Amino acid sequence: MPAVDPLNGFAIVIEIPIAWGDMDAFGHVNNVAFFRYFESARVAYLTRIEFAEGPRTGVVGPILHSTHCRFRRALTYPDTVVVGARTVELGEDRFRMEYRLSSRALGEVAAEGGGTVVSIDYATGRKAPIPDNVRANIRALDESALQPDPPPSP
């Protein structure tokens, strides 16, 4: 029986090679690097839902409210991590994301985490409702990740 893909159901999945500089004096990837890996997946997600322009344009955009990580396995160089991101809760002015990081070398999940992204009006510095088009893009993207793959053609 084939193994279950630990990133099945994640809307965004990216690969990141571990750099030698990600390691620390303890001989494994430093915990800060895990947050950078999550950030890369989050930015890919925000770009895909067309919600990454706020800070540069002075309009409504995202800001990270909080984030967390549960470290499950130590990582070392060389390796490549595969990071998934998805929204698990959508509110009026914020959404909660989930991340999962899998190691190619270990063949298993090395970390799980999440974060809350708040919609902010960069012109006023205050929270703002998530724009309707972004809300629709979040739903469409995450729902598409939950659809089963079509059967192979004969």
* CA nearest to 84, candidates 44, 24, 27, 130: 44
Query: CATH class for domain 12-145?
Result: alpha beta
Q: What pLDDT sits at residue 1?
A: 45
**Domain ranges across the chain:** 12-145
Angle between helices 31-48 and 132-146 (to 10 degrees): 110
- The one-digit pLDDT tens for each residue of the chain (154 residues) are 456 789 999 999 999 999 999 999 999 999 999 999 999 999 999 999 999 987 777 789 999 999 999 999 999 999 999 999 999 999 999 999 999 999 999 999 999 999 999 999 998 999 999 999 999 999 999 998 887 655 555 5
Whole-structure pTM value: 0.91
Contact 69, 5 (CB under 8 A): no
Report the C-alpha gap between 24 and 87 in whole angstroms. Answer: 31
Q: What pLDDT sits at residue 145?
A: 86
Contact 93, 128 (CB under 8 A): yes
